[in-house]
Amino acid sequence: MKKILVVDDELQILKAITRMLADTDYEVITSENGKDALAIIESTPVDMVIADMRMPIMDGFELLKVVKEKYPKIIRIILSGYAEEKAMFQAVLHNVAKLYIFKPWNNEEFLQSINKLFSVDTILHSDELIKSIDDMECSATIPDYCKQLLSTIEKEDVNAVIDELEQNADLSALLIQVAKSSIYGVMPNTVKQSVKYIGLHNMKCFVHWACVVNAMKCKETDTFDSHMLLQHSYLTNRIFLFLYETFLHKQPPESALFAGLMHNIGLIMIAKNLQKKGSLSQDTQSEVYFEFDQKQYQGKHQEIGAHLLDQWDIPFPMYEVALYHHRPLDPYIVNFELVSCVYIAQSFAWKTLAGTEIESNISEVFDKLDLSKEEFETRLARYLK
């Protein structure tokens, strides 16, 4: 039985969540403050912590920050009011929670989200998946300068982040390139502009992308050119943002600006691993990438990518996209709209680059988003000219 610790200084909130979970298989423990909650966690194994953002003694941000550092396997959820913008920015920047629930909530949706988080956690920590990842040695090495940059980002010093980036020509050029694929209708030309538009809370994701690009650099002896996979990622992000701006008339979630860029990390790492073994050639196309994944990794590139993003401390919406970007109709998806938009974007990116449309559920996904596939295709063609 999974144990859920609920922490809030308001007794009515504790009672409401306890009632909501009463007819489930979850065991509920409650606490009225952060310090007592930590004492409970130290003495009792807990699978999930749901904490209110605003509490006396120790607020939800501080509590979940400690839980993340000391007990990283515990799933973390924040309860928040709409007025707590500064606290929410810090929570997103430091990725202290997998999910943010705003008051007042819908009980059915809240309960479904809890179930879905546990489902994803089970998938990403299965013994079979961990063995596949260990066997393929697919993690990207983090250079010292990237470790330093990640540390500076954690300190929330924007000027220091800009200074460090400007001292590295390769990182600066890559940042500007990434920014151009991540900001619809804006073409930043400097590091400062790029950091401003991307936002400090997305810079951690950029640093890990830089490590991936560094790992994918081709040597003269390589038989595999990574250009196609990387170009697909950039184009997916452009189409993803175009879809949000032009058809949904809004921005994607702040923590998911790079959802299109990072969605295929699992396939990229599989390709790099196979390249080391000499299993890929220069003319490898999209169908062959998926064929290798299916034959040698049982089609697990989505799970592998999601696991890696989770290990890199990338926000939950990003690795949920990686996990379901070929299965947008899966009933366990929390962020359906986000996953669906990346699903559409990556499919049209492959169609543009390789001339093939690889997804069979594309029309149904357009229908669920209440969008016209034909209109999207027409306007996208004009946009990409």
Q: Do 97 and 182 belong to one domain?
A: no
Strand duo 3-7 + 99-102: pairing: unpaired
Q: Do 324 and 348 belong to one domain?
A: yes
Q: How many domains does the chain have?
A: 2
Q: Do 25 and 157 belong to one domain?
A: no
Domain boundary among the residues 108, 125, 142 is at 125
Q: Do 106 and 135 belong to one domain?
A: no
Residue 327 DSSP one-character state: -
CB 271 within 8 A of CB 222: no
- CA distance linking residue 46 with residue 51, whole number of Å: 13
- CA distance linking residue 37 with residue 63, whole number of Å: 8
CB 337 within 8 A of CB 323: no
- The predicted pLDDT at position 220 comes to 46
Domain boundary among the residues 100, 125, 150 is at 125
Task: Report which of 298, 264, 260, 329 is spatially closest to residue 126, judged by C-alpha positions.
Answer: 298
- The predicted pLDDT at position 189 comes to 86
* AA identity, residue 257: L
Q: Do 168 and 280 belong to one domain?
A: yes
Q: Do 285 and 347 belong to one domain?
A: yes
Q: Do 314 and 172 belong to one domain?
A: yes
Q: Do 140 and 68 belong to one domain?
A: no
Helix axes 227-243, 336-354, angle to 10 degrees: 130
Q: Do 88 and 148 belong to one domain?
A: no
- The predicted pLDDT at position 38 comes to 97
- The predicted pLDDT at position 29 comes to 98
CATH of the domain at 227: 1.10.3210.10
CB 203 within 8 A of CB 195: yes
Q: Which domain holds residue 102?
A: 3-125
Helix axes 158-166, 169-182, angle to 10 degrees: 120
* AA identity, residue 237: N
- CA distance linking residue 33 with residue 351, whole number of Å: 53
206-227 burial, b at 16+ Cβ within 10 Å, e below that, comes to: bbbbbbbbbbbeeeeebebbbe
- CA distance linking residue 332 with residue 119, whole number of Å: 7
Q: Do 215 and 344 belong to one domain?
A: yes
- The predicted pLDDT at position 12 comes to 95
Burial of 309 (0-12, 13-18, 19+ CB in 10 A): buried
Q: Do 96 and 168 belong to one domain?
A: no
- CA distance linking residue 287 with residue 359, whole number of Å: 12
- The predicted pLDDT at position 247 comes to 97
Q: Global pTM?
A: 0.90
Domain boundary among the residues 94, 125, 156 is at 125
Rg, Å, the chain Cα set? 21
Per-residue pLDDT of the chain (385 residues; tens, 9 = 90+): 999 999 999 999 999 999 999 999 999 999 999 999 999 999 999 999 999 998 988 989 999 999 999 999 999 999 987 656 667 777 877 899 999 998 899 999 999 999 999 999 999 999 988 887 887 665 556 788 888 999 999 888 999 999 999 999 999 999 998 888 777 666 788 999 999 888 888 899 999 998 888 777 655 445 455 678 889 999 999 999 999 999 999 999 888 999 999 999 998 888 777 666 655 555 555 555 566 556 555 568 999 999 999 999 999 999 999 999 999 999 999 999 999 999 999 999 999 988 877 678 899 999 999 999 999 999 999 999 8
- The predicted pLDDT at position 80 comes to 87
- CA distance linking residue 79 with residue 86, whole number of Å: 14
From residue 384, how far is each of 51, 126, 345, 374, 379 by CA, in Å?
Answer: 45, 40, 13, 16, 9
What SS3 class is residue 30? Answer: strand
Q: Do 145 and 69 belong to one domain?
A: no
CATH of the domain at 42: 3.40.50.2300
CB 270 within 8 A of CB 138: yes
Task: Report which of 184, 194, 197 is spatially closest to residue 247, judged by C-alpha positions.
Answer: 184
